[in-house]
Amino acid sequence: MDLLVLEKALLGLFAAVTLAIVFSTLRGKRFKLPPGPLPVPIFGNWLQVGDDLNQRNLAALAKKFGDIFLLRMGQRNLVVVSSPDLAREVLHTQGVEFGSRTRNVVFDIFTGKGQDMVFTVYGEHWRKMRRIMTVPFFTNKVVQQYRYGWEDEAARVVEDVRANPKSATEGIVIRRRLQLMMYNNMYRIMFDRRFESEEDPLFLKLRALNGERSRLAQSFEYNYGDFIPILRPFLRGYLKICKEVKDMRISIFKSYFVEERKKLGNTKPTDTTGLKCAIDHILDAEKKGEINEDNVLYIVENINVAAIETTLWSIEWGLAELVNHQDVQRKVRAELDSVLGPGVQITEPDIPRLPYLQAVVKETLRLRMAIPLLVPHMNLHDAKLGGFDIPAESKILVNAWWLANNPAHWKNPDQFRPERFLEEEAKVEANGNDFRYIPFGVGRRSCPGIILALPILGITLGRLVQNFELLPPPGMERIDTTEKGGQFSLHILKHSTVVAKPRSF
């Protein structure tokens, strides 16, 4: 940084200190704010709590400050909610008041400042995007249309694992093959396209760029520049990389998929009853003037991240827990053999007849929630919550992981025990009928992808358990399930090697 920029930063720092003190004094008289650690000017609580605002650290703070507390992270207010009743208030009762999304400097880049659906503010644009995306992606009709493709992709995974001589001896990283499966599951829906192998050049390029996008967005490295705007000049290099990655991804989405589909559409009759995949429907909305080209591309961006990555993380967690809990794995296999018959491959319509497999999926989503803090909410205007005043444009985090892992509400929550969903928690579903368990959120801004994720999880884990005995690598009793958290994500730190011994039928 040159001297001029440094001088401006120092002057800005001095001015901000003065303004922060004045603003804090005035606001203290005006608002009854939630409790929390005492902030200091400029930095707020950042120096006290650090960058890593993961679900476990926030749960520890909730034990100290209560079910609702306030962190002042630089110039941002961050309100953390940690009880079912308050979660209901944010997500349902006051769903409109807290229905907007807060973005940071990195997500502004990757979403075109909210031109997508996931991170746009609550209002007419969000309602329009949600409506346009629901029909081609998030209905039972879509599940029934594409479940054959999901079953086919799972069968191909089984074939490839069987064909690999290392699978049954030293083990393989099955996650790599599952990643290709998830891309094909979603690209079939989006573009009626699939990738033939893990070595497909276009797949490799997409995987690398989507992985880099995830790393950049979920990192805590850039928090200082987001919390304290006068430090943002130090983020120039980081933000430049983010923009380059965004531009490359958007270019690939446009050139290789959207434009190709447009060309195909131009050679066919314009009868909209013959739409084959999601992008046809979305392009039809563009033709009608409901959305623009950028909106189309950012919808594709959302699906690449929100649908592919999160479901893959959950599959990987479920696989790891089944390897580490052989008794659970045997029970799933016994249920599949008993209900379907040995060697009869599970299909989507079979899932309701397999309560123990469903319980394993639920327990995976409870203990290893892929989005443990949900996607952050925001109130556009001053609001009330739990008897406290919430200043406008506060970032609201619902610690959904803690709701589902609080020993005050769950029996032995640190144990992976699917039986809980057949016994004391038998009435609890993943759709949010109980605010202690909301892995997909609830209300207006809930994740509509639940309708795809649950059957894909059931089919994939079911096929793996049916066809293989899944074990840790030789010499290990368990595989490593150390967590890797992000801005609001939770996945496995190390992609584990798993031994998959084929079963004979």
Q: Would you state the pLDDT for residue 150?
A: 98
The mean per-residue pLDDT over the stretch 251-256 comes to: 96
- Least trusted range by pLDDT, from 20-29, 36-45, 57-66, 250-259: 20-29
Separation CA 463–CA 345 (nearest Å): 7
Separation CA 462–CA 472 (nearest Å): 18
pLDDT at 5 > cutoff 80: no
Separation CA 439–CA 441 (nearest Å): 6
Which residues carry a binding-site annotation for heme?
A: 447
Q: Would you state the pLDDT for residue 411?
A: 98
Q: Would you state the pLDDT for residue 22?
A: 39
Would you kindly state where each structural domain of the chain is located, as residue ranges? Answer: 31-502
Predicted TM-score of the model (pTM)? 0.92
Q: Would you state the pLDDT for residue 4?
A: 45
pLDDT at 112 > cutoff 70: yes
The mean per-residue pLDDT over the stretch 218-247 comes to: 93
- Least trusted range by pLDDT, from 20-24, 191-195, 437-441: 20-24
Percent residues over pLDDT 90 in the chain: 84
Which residues carry a binding-site annotation?
A: 447
pLDDT at 404 > cutoff 70: yes
pLDDT level of residue 268 (50, 70, 90 thresholds): low
The tens digit of pLDDT for each residue in 18-39 reads 444 434 543 444 789 999 999 9
Residue indicated by tokens 């009709």: 141
Instruction: Give the CATH superfamily of 31-502.
Output: Cytochrome P450 (1.10.630.10)
Question: Which of 417, 451, 500, 424 minimizes the C-alpha distance to 157?
Answer: 500
The tens digit of pLDDT for each residue in 346-363 reads 999 999 999 999 999 999
- Least trusted range by pLDDT, from 14-23, 147-156, 278-287, 435-444: 14-23
55 touches 81 (CB < 8 A): no
Separation CA 404–CA 72 (nearest Å): 26
pLDDT at 273 > cutoff 70: no
